[in-house]
Structure 1
């Protein structure tokens, strides 16, 4: 009886049959779980396997089970202050050299985004921004090589607000390790995409 009342309430509230409503709910939960695992901090992901107890068969085997290799987690260098850095020097920090940090400039501030190597490294979806001034591209939410510049001239207030949101996210997640010279951080900076044509 209670189950029928719940089924009637679900149908009245959602306009779907109970089976369809619960299927949609299950899909939403699965999607949430999958998407939320993409945003786990690298430190939490690295420590997660250690938090799980060993299966009983591994506990019985003792030292033999301990010899299993750990999953490979690519190391990233500790943030190093670079001070004032030119756009040309910044290009060397694009993530292709794993011994170097991955740096991105926004509004003249240089951020070490090495912790986000999965996003900004050579195979990442935002690798285009690595080693560049991404101010205009982030404001426009653009992957156009011509927008990889610090030139903010002609941007609308909404676009500048988008850039401000990106800048706040970077400040929360990544350390500032340097800055661009004043003349490069303002309007008039040219895109530095000549090497991409090669």
Structure 2
């Protein structure tokens, strides 16, 4: 009875049969759901989908290929110290093997402090052979023969002397002069003077 009353009321109110009224209501409901989905879906998806993660720090974006490698550690070189006159034997101690000492090289009697060029003249450098030595003849001949590590310039050609002069000019521009080697003439003169003094002392005695 109740269902029949509802069916009669729907037909009297809408003018449609109960089946037609239900069909129209279903279509209206479906249309509402479709239309509401068009407007609600973006917001819903935004709320249901987690927010995009923040960008990673720059080092992740750069990748390992852009990471800079640490530079090799180079110990600070000591300040140049004026050595005055220094013998070849004393010069040997300044070959760069002792980090606390300067690296010295002699060219034509002048002693240069090349400590700032440790990468070249230090123990692992390509020119370490010259450190602590008189490199005059070796530089003139562009030689790495240990026998040429001497100040003897006898027999060198004008071209070789010019090469040596170029090296000497470069050293003067880049490295300070901190001492000198005793010249052979001065050494001979000192020996002669000492001998004369000794003879004079014997004569006076």
Q: Which TM-score applies when normalising by structure 2?
A: 0.55
Report the equivalent of 1:139.
Answer: 140
Structure 1 residues 184, 176: CA separation in 2 closer, same or farther (over 3 Å shift)?
farther
The offset of 1:107, in angstroms, is 0.1
- Alpha-carbon distance in 2 for matches of 1:143, 1:185: 29
The offset of 1:74, in angstroms, is 1.1
Structure 1 residue runs of 5 or longer lacking an equivalent are 1-55, 59-68, 187-198
The correspondence of residues 22-37 of structure 1 with structure 2, limited to 5 A, is: none
- Alpha-carbon distance in 1 for matches of 2:186, 2:141: 17
Report the equivalent of 1:15.
Answer: none
Secondary structure at the residue paired with 1:92?
coil
Number of equivalences: 121
Report the equivalent of 1:119.
Answer: 120
Structure 1 residues 163, 147: CA separation in 2 closer, same or farther (over 3 Å shift)?
same
Contact 1:107 1:185 in 2 (8 A): no
Report the equivalent of 2:183.
Answer: 182
Structure 1 residues 122, 70: CA separation in 2 closer, same or farther (over 3 Å shift)?
closer
Secondary structure at the residue paired with 2:171?
helix
- Alpha-carbon distance in 2 for matches of 1:180, 1:172: 20
The offset of 1:183, in angstroms, is 1.1
Q: Which TM-score applies when normalising by structure 1?
A: 0.57
Contact 1:150 1:185 in 2 (8 A): no
Report the equivalent of 1:77.
Answer: 78
Secondary structure at the residue paired with 1:172?
helix
Structure 2 residue runs of 5 or longer lacking an equivalent are 1-56, 60-69, 188-205
Q: What RMSD, in angstroms, separates the aligned Cα atoms of the two structures?
A: 2.2
The offset of 1:71, in angstroms, is 6.7
Structure 1 residues 176, 184: CA separation in 2 closer, same or farther (over 3 Å shift)?
farther
Larger Rg: 2
Q: Deviations over 1:94-143 (max 9, x none)?
A: 00000000000000000000000000000000000000000000000000
